[in-house]
Structure formats: C-alpha cells, structure tokens
Structure 1
Amino acid sequence: MAKFVLAGKADCPYFAKAELLADYLQINLPNFKVYKITQHPDMWEQWLHDICKKNGWKHKHSPIIWRELLDRGGKGLLLGGFNDFMEHAQHYYGITSNMLSEQMLKIAVENLHTHIEIEKEEEYLKSLINPLHVWISSASAPACYNLIPLLASGEVFGMATEVSIHLLDSNLYEEILHGIVMEAQDLAFPLLRSVSMHTKLDEAFLQADVVILLDDILFHHEIPSLENCIRQVTEQCKVYGSLIEKNANNSVKVIVSGKTFVNLRALMIMTFAPSVDPQNIIAVAMFLESAAKAMLARKLNMHSAGIKDVIVWGNISGSSYIDLSKAKVYRYDSAIWGPPSFSRRLLDVIYDSNWVHSEFVSVLSSLSSREHHCLGISPAHVIATVLRYWYQDSPPGEMVSMGVLSEGQFCIPEGIVFSMPVRFQDGSWVVITEIENNEDTQEILKHLVHDLIQEKQVALGEIPEMSPYKETAFNGFNLLALLEEENIQTPPKGPETSPEGLYQSETSLSNAENNENP
C-alpha cells in the first residue's frame, strides 16, 4: 500500500491543491492512504523547527528530510513539496490536477477557517475536563525526568484524571527542560494534557493543584555555616511560599523532597503561604524508610514489600531515628507459616543483633556516597507513591513515615514539622497516635525535637546560632561537618537523606531492640 503524508500551513494554496489530488487518489485507488498534518500559519515554522531538531536534521525544506521523516515514522514516502507530489502522482498514477489558482486560493482560505474552527472545538472539549496542574521545581533534576511517566500513566491520580505538568527551573537549564518537554510529548500518554517549561519565577505555580519541590541548597564556592544555610533555605522558601500563596489553587498539595533541610523547608512554606492548609504541606520521609526495608529484606532473603511499619522519626534530612520496634514481616519463609495476612515481628526473626547495630547502620549511612550516582529512579518512585496514597489511600493497616506539622502528638511540641507515622485516607492523612513509645524512645524524640526547634528559631531570626542538645548521649555528625568532611561543593539533587540522622539511629536502634527484647 502506498502511504503519503501531506504536511503544510493551513492557508497554503499549494497544500490545498495537493490535498484535493490526494483525496481523489485515496477514493479511487484501493491501496492508497493519505495522512494530513496541518498547522496554523503562526505555528508552522516552530513545528518544523522542533521536528527537525528532534531528529537531528537541519532546518530546511528538503525532499530528502521529508522522505526521511516519513520513512523513520514507518508510514512510507513523504514528498518534500508541491511539485514533487504532482510529479509523483503523474508518473505513477497518470493523474494531474487542473485546479486554477483562484480555486486554490479560495480553498486555502476555507482550509484555514476550518483549521481554526477545529482547534477551537478541541480547546472547548478539553476545557470541559479540567486537568490536574502539577508543578515541579528544580525540574532539571534526574528525579523529575523519572517522575513524569509515573504521573502521566494514570496510576498516581487515577485513570480518569488528566494532568498538565509544568517544569520550573533556572534559565541555565532551559535546554534540558526543552528536551524533557519534547520527550514527555513523545510518550503520548492519553492522560497527559500538556507539558510546559517555565524559567520565570513570577509565573510559577499558576493554578497549581500539586507542587513538588525538589530544590536543595547549592554551595557554589565555600560551604557556609549551618546557620547561614538555614537562612538561605528560608529566603528560598519565602519566595516559593509567597508565589504559592499568590498563584496556586486554595486546595493545593505541596510535597517537599530533597537532601537538605526537608523538614525546615516544609515548615517555612507553611509560614510564607499562610492561606494553604498546613495539612496540605508534607515532607517526604519514605526514601529513608524504603532504604531501611530493602536492607532488612536482603538480610532476611525476602522481598522488601513484605516488610511493613518501619518508622522514621524526627528530621528527615538531619538527626533521625529508624524505629524497628513496630516493624512486621509478611510471607517470610520460615518454620512458622500462615495466610497472606499473617505477620511476625521483625525483631523476632532477625537474630543477629550485632548486624543491626553495625552493618545495618553503616550501610544506610553510606547513602550519601550513592547520591553522586543517583539517577533519580528511587526518589521519583517515592514521590509518586506518596501522591498515590494521598489521592487513592494508603494500604489498609500500614504506617507511612511522613514529615508533618506537629499538633502535640507523642509529646512533640506544636509548631515544628516532624517525621512520624501516618495513614492516608479519603484525600487526607492522620497521625497514627494509637501506638505507644517507651521512655527511651521518648528521650530520643526530645533530642530530635531540640534540633528542629533550633532550626526554626534561626530561620525566624529568634536566635543567632544553634546550640547543642544538653544531654551528651548523642554526638552525631551535623550537616555542616558532613559536607566539610566530604568536600562537597555542589551536593547533587535528590530526595535522599544525609547520613548523620542514620548515625543517630545506631544508639536508637540499640535502645529499641534492648527494650523489646530484654
């Protein structure tokens, strides 16, 4: 079968003549098929430029380029212009067109009018279905590249929800953003309404339903003091918060991810976007939770999906506590077996306590060295999972670690963002307050609270610098010491946690296990 593609401006008289001849051939020949691509005159040059750039061709009207375009698309032969098409039709089919120039011009005007009417109708039909507007900051990060297919597939927001994805970053990354936009458009997901790039802050978060913040602090020269880092974070959040307050929808959901000051950034967004419900602003802790589950699963020679209820307390990207005391294992191959709903306590099946205190903590602490090679797959999966839980509920009976604004749960002071166990239900989340912590756990939480309160006070200008916790039982690394030790000038982006929190967990894990297994 002969297959042709006719592409041109909607008001081009030569396109009108070629189109009429192609229609005649398609009606009268059994093995002749025509594909038509029309563009508005104002959009023709940009469309041609984009399609040539995508295929690595020079931007010119060459018969060879048009033939390659169609051949690579798998549709046959595409001729480069009006004369080529007429010669081809006469040579192979013995048919020519006797359309006069006046007729060509008249039909060209009608074609343009029809094209505009069709575009208006399509826009109207699209307007009847309001897409979900998702904004992603620092969109040049690898996590964003991997996140887009997950958001557009329908698995996150539901198979009946269209999405429009907006990519925000500095104009330094404009070429990267343009490449991401074109690749996302190539995916042709039915639910992906549009993908756009933005490099101007004043248009950020317009009509946003979901905001995903992937930003981290970048140290271009020397590493500043911890307090200056906090002030830098605060300034950035002041800009973002005011833009979210001004441009986003009232019910916007904000997810804060990254490697540095995740809890503090979530709190500052709440501070500078006061009209947004604080319950709609959360900090992602699931990456650290998932990393711990994967480590435990390798030790037990089982699938990590069978490990549930590992809790991350405290500062997600700072001093945190990985709590295994409530963790359960499902479908674990052992002498004790049961139905799929049967579970056992994790600490009852891990008999090597030395491994928990040493290798487990050590490997998790090495996450920072893996950040340099992070391709963004894990962070993207974690963010997509959190959003899916938020819109479609978390699995029944499971705990999810999340940085949320404290309201006094577990004796944690109000007014700080603290990672704690939650469950998602009916488009919202609730803290799982029915679990009980022993005295040692509460003491650990006091230390974690101290650091977060001090970060908040420095950010708000209430104190000039942070002071250490009064008790000396915890002498973990702080963020500044870690960066100085590793000589990191520009930490890579990605929602991975810094290892000082895992270092804190070495004592915490020991306490938890000793308390559960006296």
Structure 2
Amino acid sequence: MDSEKILTVIITGAAGQIGYSLIPLVASGQTFGKDVKLHLRLLDIESQVEKLKGVVMETQDCAFPLVLSIEYGYDPEVIFKDADVGIFVGGFPRLKGMERKDLIDKNVKIFKEQGKALNEVASPNCKVLVVANPANTNCLILSKNCPNIPKENFTAMTRLDHDRALNQIALRTESRLEDVKNVIVWGNHSSTQYPDARFATIKGESLDYKGDEDYYKGDFISTVQKRGAAIIEARGFSSSMSAANAASNHLRDWYHGSEDMLSMSILSDGTHYDIDDNLCFSFPVKCTGDFKHEVIDGLDIDDFSREKMNITQKELTDERDLGEEQ
C-alpha cells in the first residue's frame, strides 16, 4: 500500500450511540491505520441533524490529524458522493411489539433508497459494511439496489458475535484472549446464528472440544446468541461500544489482512458449504488485505452443525422473501 492514502468514509446513523463510539476509532487511525488520511461523511435522518452537528463539533475538537474534512447531512446523494468506504450503522430499530416483518418493511425502504444513492454517486469500487439490523438482509437489499458496485464489496457484521465467541472460550479455558483463534459464526446476525468452536485453537493447539462438548453444543452457543439481549437487560441500552469496536475490527482486518480465521457475512453464490445463493450469510473467511477476502472451504460439517446452519439459512431465506415482497 502507498505510504499515505486518502479514503472518503461514510458513516450512516452517525448521531446514534454506535456512530458516536465508532467515529473516534476511525478518525484516530485505529481502523485503517496511521498513514491513511480521511474525508469523513456523516449521515443521519433530518430530525437528527442538529444532534449530528454536535457530534461533528466534538470530532473537530478532538483535532484528529488524519481527518482532512468532515461533512454531514441527511441527503444520501450528497453525503455518499465519491465514497470509498460505507459503514451503514443507521437503520430503523425494532420497537416494542414490532413483528420482524414490520422491521424488515421499514428497513427495506431505507436501504433501497440508500442503495440507489450509493449506486449513483459513490466510487464504483466502494467497500460496504452493514451494521444496522437486520444486518444481513439490509446488506442484501442494499446490494440489489446498487448494481454498479461488485457484490464481493458488500459485507455485513458478524464480527461482534465472533469476538463474543472468542471471549467466551477464553473465559471458559482461563486463557488469554489473544491466544484464542479460529472460531466461526455461521449464518445470520440473530438468535439463530451458529457459533462453532470445533476448529478453535489456544496457543496453536486444538481446543479440547470433545472434552467439553456439552458446553460447546449448549451454553456456549446460547450465550453468544443471546449476548446482545443480556446486555440490554443489564445496561438498559443495546451494545454500542462493543458494536463499534467490532465494526472497526472488521474493517481493519479486511483492509490490512489477517492470518486468523474470521467471521464475515458476505453475499452467497451457492458454491460454499451447500448454502443457497442470493443470501447474505456469515462464513469463515481469510482476509488477504486491500479489502479482499476469501471463504475458507473444506471444513468438516457434522450433522449437528448442518442442522444449526439449516436453521439460520431458513431464517435468512424468510427475511429475504419478506424483503422482496415490499
């Protein structure tokens, strides 16, 4: 990579709590590196623009040396212009009593509009990370409305679930977190996701999965699946700091590359692990740098894993079909 590069980075939902936590990670160089200069473009809905103005003022007051300019507003056709990276944090939240189909209906409208704007004005090689839930289906909708940008440039975030899984293994085995590698989160960023510890290693040695199989097939999976709900119950708010950190980790490794097996939701093409095409599904991937990634194929899928993967694939298929009805 060049010694100095300039990226135009958009963050949607930038006035919200995840956006507020994410901006300093991006602006300080933690995400893309200390040699990458940035044009920040911050988007939120019209009613949040005054709040967004305050976020911009704070960002300016941080005096981040890497930030060349900041623009903000509510019109995606203005904010998305020439974007190199799009981080889609903003979406319609699930409200009390709302059915999942209602949530998808609200977000279809948002991501259709933003996809069309991205298609018209962003860089044709723009790289996309969708964080807003339902992240996988929002990513699929965004891509369908943005044919000018290659499908491999669209990703959704299961890195938070991946990082949660790593931490649970570290706690269970009384290991250092940095020594735990190679967990997988399959499928949807939802309660149907399948956190898979079968290939995990600690200091390069295989995890004793069989010796603790009841845990790794039981409480381990449910703890990772329900972690977001547990945080809401304890804190009274949804995950913000950890979600922002996971988004930064996802983008850092996608941009710089990583030796680790990572979890990333990508647009499926029907060629990996018998997962249907036309879904946004989380697979084990290797990030090779410069925003390139490849699915790690050839891992054994036992009957237990196949059943879990089928459940999460069914949910994603249902979400896709609901979205296509809108």
**Structure-2-length-normalised TM-score:** 0.89
Confirm or deny that 1:142 pairs with 2:17: yes
Instruction: Determine which of 281, 304, 312 is the counterpart of 2:177.
Output: 304
Confirm or deny that 1:360 pairs with 2:233: no
**Separation in structure 2 between the aligned mates of residue 454 and residue 362 of structure 1, nearest angstrom:** 22
Secondary structure at the counterpart of residue 92 of structure 2: coil
Question: CA contact under 8 A between 1:132 and 1:161: conserved in structure 2?
Answer: yes
Matching of residues 22-61 of structure 1 within 5 Å: none
How many Å apart are 1:241 and its aligned residue? 0.5
Instruction: Determine which of 54, 74, 80 is the counterpart of 1:179.
Output: 54
How many Å apart are 1:407 and its aligned residue? 1.8
Equivalent position of 1:17 in the other structure: none
Confirm or deny that 1:280 pairs with 2:153: yes
Task: Identify which range, 292-301 or 305-314, moves more after superposition.
Answer: 292-301
**Separation in structure 1 between the aligned mates of residue 223 and residue 318 of structure 2, nearest angstrom:** 29
Confirm or deny that 1:257 pairs with 2:117: no
Matching of residues 112-261 of structure 1 within 5 Å: 131-219=6-94, 223-258=97-132, 260-261=133-134
Confirm or deny that 1:422 pairs with 2:285: yes
Equivalent position of 1:400 in the other structure: 262
Confirm or deny that 1:379 pairs with 2:239: no
How many Å apart are 1:358 and its aligned residue? 5.0
Residue 362 to residue 313, structure 1, CA distance change in 2 (3 Å): closer
Secondary structure at the counterpart of residue 211 of structure 1: strand
Equivalent position of 1:370 in the other structure: 231
Question: CA contact under 8 A between 1:207 and 1:249: conserved in structure 2?
Answer: yes
How many pairs are equivalent? 317
How many Å apart are 1:361 and its aligned residue? 4.2
How many Å apart are 1:353 and its aligned residue? 4.3
Secondary structure at the counterpart of residue 266 of structure 2: strand
Secondary structure at the counterpart of residue 347 of structure 1: coil
**Separation in structure 2 between the aligned mates of residue 374 and residue 368 of structure 1, nearest angstrom:** 8
**Separation in structure 2 between the aligned mates of residue 203 and residue 187 of structure 1, nearest angstrom:** 25
Secondary structure at the counterpart of residue 418 of structure 1: strand
How many Å apart are 1:205 and its aligned residue? 0.8
How many Å apart are 1:219 and its aligned residue? 4.9
Secondary structure at the counterpart of residue 18 of structure 2: helix
Secondary structure at the counterpart of residue 131 of structure 1: strand
Residue 320 to residue 359, structure 1, CA distance change in 2 (3 Å): closer
Question: CA contact under 8 A between 2:228 and 2:238: conserved in structure 1?
Answer: no
**Separation in structure 2 between the aligned mates of residue 356 and residue 182 of structure 1, nearest angstrom:** 46
How many Å apart are 1:374 and its aligned residue? 4.6
Question: CA contact under 8 A between 2:93 and 2:103: conserved in structure 1?
Answer: no
Residue 156 to residue 226, structure 1, CA distance change in 2 (3 Å): closer
Letter of the 1:276 partner, please give it. Answer: I
**Separation in structure 2 between the aligned mates of residue 432 and residue 356 of structure 1, nearest angstrom:** 22
How many Å apart are 1:322 and its aligned residue? 0.9
Deviations 1:89-119 (A, max 9, x none): xxxxxxxxxxxxxxxxxxxxxxxxxxxxxxx
**Separation in structure 2 between the aligned mates of residue 163 and residue 223 of structure 1, nearest angstrom:** 41
Confirm or deny that 1:390 pairs with 2:265: no
Equivalent position of 1:410 in the other structure: 273
**Separation in structure 2 between the aligned mates of residue 367 and residue 425 of structure 1, nearest angstrom:** 30
**Separation in structure 1 between the aligned mates of residue 322 and residue 306 of structure 2, nearest angstrom:** 25
Question: CA contact under 8 A between 2:228 and 2:239: conserved in structure 1?
Answer: no
Question: CA contact under 8 A between 1:214 and 1:257: conserved in structure 2?
Answer: yes
**Separation in structure 2 between the aligned mates of residue 357 and residue 414 of structure 1, nearest angstrom:** 27
Task: Identify which range, 235-244 or 300-309, moves more after superposition.
Answer: 300-309
Secondary structure at the counterpart of residue 68 of structure 2: strand
How many Å apart are 1:461 and its aligned residue? 2.0
**Separation in structure 2 between the aligned mates of residue 390 and residue 147 of structure 1, nearest angstrom:** 16
Instruction: Determine which of 207, 212, 235 is the counterpart of 1:346.
Output: 207
Residue 252 to residue 367, structure 1, CA distance change in 2 (3 Å): same
Equivalent position of 2:317 in the other structure: 453
Question: CA contact under 8 A between 1:165 and 1:195: conserved in structure 2?
Answer: yes
**Separation in structure 2 between the aligned mates of residue 357 and residue 412 of structure 1, nearest angstrom:** 21
| Relative contact order higher in (CA < 8 Å, ≥ 6 apart) | 2
How many Å apart are 1:378 and its aligned residue? 1.3
How many Å apart are 1:366 and its aligned residue? 4.3
**Separation in structure 2 between the aligned mates of residue 430 and residue 205 of structure 1, nearest angstrom:** 27
Question: CA contact under 8 A between 2:29 and 2:36: conserved in structure 1?
Answer: yes
Gaps in structure 2 of 5+ consecutive residues: none
Percent identity over the alignment is: 27
Task: Identify which range, 194-203 or 289-298, moves more after superposition.
Answer: 194-203
How many Å apart are 1:236 and its aligned residue? 1.4
Letter of the 2:22 partner, please give it. Answer: L
Residue 217 to residue 293, structure 1, CA distance change in 2 (3 Å): same
Aligned-pair Cα RMSD in Å: 2.2
Residue 286 to residue 190, structure 1, CA distance change in 2 (3 Å): same
Task: Identify which range, 433-442 or 185-194, moves more after superposition.
Answer: 433-442
Residue 357 to residue 439, structure 1, CA distance change in 2 (3 Å): closer
Letter of the 1:252 partner, please give it. Answer: C
How many Å apart are 1:414 and its aligned residue? 1.3
Question: CA contact under 8 A between 1:314 and 1:449: conserved in structure 2?
Answer: yes
Residue 356 to residue 446, structure 1, CA distance change in 2 (3 Å): closer
Letter of the 2:243 partner, please give it. Answer: P
**Separation in structure 2 between the aligned mates of residue 420 and residue 375 of structure 1, nearest angstrom:** 23
